[in-house]
């Protein structure tokens, strides 16, 4: 893949976020659970030294080619060859071996100024997935948000300074580039072909120091709609173990193909086995846009930041008593000139009422 001429979003913020309260929705009602973005990133406050654990590309085979011959599966640019099991699927051990070199560790540094105007360095950690042999890597936006420095470490132990090519806050996807060649890219699967009960293998960097960790479970649910930071996301659900640092890591199917990018998990003390991943079909599309242009084309720019208030719990948090689209900030002159201000509520878009129920991203 040729490196895009446009490098990154000049206004990009790259670093770790704290815990957030997400709202889970289902067809039989809603429940509220406390989960953390798998900003599953570990954060170290430099001065105090205290550590906290917190939080494409088109389906083209040019990034990683899978060939089948004589019952074998191989990644063409590495010579990695795995024998298939008798039922045609790979074992967890085989999936781990196939993708060991395709999942990387990511460490970030950011300069932060506190309320007393004192500056200190925060360090975060997450995971990433190699999507091209020449150094393109996909991860979560929240892993690199607010960062001044991003370092990628391969399974071999070799580290590279990474350049942010583009990021998308709405889908929580970011693309990085390191100056390397001969890497082992993942092979894309089809997340729309997944079924509940399918094998789910997660590879990542839990706690920011355990790179290459493999956990396994099943696909627990499809098209799970949750609201994260006021943004509605449709995610895959898995019961594979996910911990701080797994953000941006890969979720693989029984063929060893990438089917999702880990993004969030439940953090409730009485809740277990609730992890979430961005479907790879969405990741491919957004990552391709970011790699080629540094941004996602065709997206409406309102000059405002929205929060979708789809439950009274969320509404009360923002100090309002009704559901709708809450205007969190007004950043552009044209939006200000139109009369919008922070704290406004939007109830109608066009001539249709209650469009906010599907989220501002979809209705706009």
| Residues labelled catalytic | 142, 172, 247
User: How far is the C-alpha of 205 from the C-alpha of 211, rounded, in Å?
Assistant: 4
Q: Please give the full DSSP string across 33-87, using - where no structure is assigned.
A: EEEEES--EEEEETTTTEEEEE----S-TTSS-EEEETTEEEETTTTEEEEPPTT
352-353 and 348-349 beta bridge pairing: antiparallel
Residue 21: count of CB within 10 angstroms of its CB: 16
Distances 2 to 22, 134, 140, 177, 281 between C-alpha atoms, Å: 38, 9, 22, 11, 22
- Residue 36 neighbours by CB distance under 10 Å: 24
**Which alpha helices (DSSP H) does the chain contain, by range?**
92-99, 141-144, 280-293, 312-317, 333-337, 360-363
**CA 261 – CA 59 distance, rounded (Å):** 15
DSSP string of 84-127?
A: PPTTSPPPHHHHHHHHGGGEEEEEEEEEEE-TTS-EEEEEEEEE
Q: Which of 357, 289, 279, 272 is nearest to 30 (CA)?
A: 357
Task: Please classify residue 285 by burial: count the beta carbons closer than 10 Å to its beta carbon, then call 0-12 exposed, 13-18 middle and 19+ buried.
Answer: middle
Residue 284 corresponds to which tokens in the numbers above?
Answer: 């491919």
Cα separation, 336 vs 350, in Å, equals: 20
Q: Which residues pair with 218 in a beta bridge?
A: 199
Bridge partners of 305, per DSSP, are 329
Q: What's the burial of 253, exposed, middle or buried (CB within 10 Å: 0-12/13-18/19+)?
A: buried
Which token pair is 238? 């898995």
Q: CA Rg, the chain, in Å? A: 20
């Amino acid at each position: 893949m040729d490196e895009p001429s446009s490098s990154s979003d000049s206004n990009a913020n790259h670093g770790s976020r704290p815990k957030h309260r997400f709202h889970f929705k289902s067809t039989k009602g809603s429940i509220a659970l406390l989960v953390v973005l798998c900003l599953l990133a570990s954060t170290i406050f430099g001065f105090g030294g205290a550590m906290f654990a917190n939080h494409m590309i088109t389906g083209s085979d040019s990034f990683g080619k899978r060939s089948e011959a004589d019952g074998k599966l191989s990644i063409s640019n590495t010579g990695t060859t795995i024998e298939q099991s008798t039922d045609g699927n790979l074992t967890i051990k085989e999936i781990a071996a196939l993708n060991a070199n395709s999942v990387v560790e990511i460490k970030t540094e950011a300069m932060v100024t506190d309320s007393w105007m004192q500056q200190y360095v925060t360090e975060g950690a997450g995971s990433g997935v190699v999507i091209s042999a020449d150094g393109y890597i996909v991860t979560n936006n929240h892993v690199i948000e607010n960062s001044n420095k991003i370092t990628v470490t391969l399974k071999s132990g070799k580290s590279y300074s990474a350049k942010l090519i583009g990021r998308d806050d709405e889908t929580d996807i970011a693309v990085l580039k390191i100056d390397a060649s001969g890497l082992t890219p993942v092979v894309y699967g089809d997340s729309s072909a997944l079924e509940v009960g399918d094998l789910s293998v997660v590879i990542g960097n839990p706690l920011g120091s355990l790179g290459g960790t493999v956990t396994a479970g099943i696909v627990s649910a499809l098209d799970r709609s949750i609201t994260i930071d006021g943004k509605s996301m449709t995610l895959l659900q898995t019961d594979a173990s996910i911990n701080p640092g797994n953000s941006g890591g890969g979720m693989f199917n029984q063929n060893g193909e990438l089917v999702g990018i880990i993004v969030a998990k439940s953090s409730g003390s009485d809740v277990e086995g609730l992890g979430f991943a961005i479907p790879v079909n969405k990741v491919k599309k957004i990552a391709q846009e970011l790699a080629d242009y540094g941004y996602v084309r065709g997206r409406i720019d309102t000059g405002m930041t929205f929060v979708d208030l789809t439950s009274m719990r969320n509404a009360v948090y923002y100090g309002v008593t009704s559901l709708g689209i809450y205007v969190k900030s007004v950043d552009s002159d044209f939006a200000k000139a139109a009369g919008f201000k922070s704290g406004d509520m939007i109830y109608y878009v066009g001539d249709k009422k209650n469009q906010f129920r599907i989220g501002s991203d979809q209705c706009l």
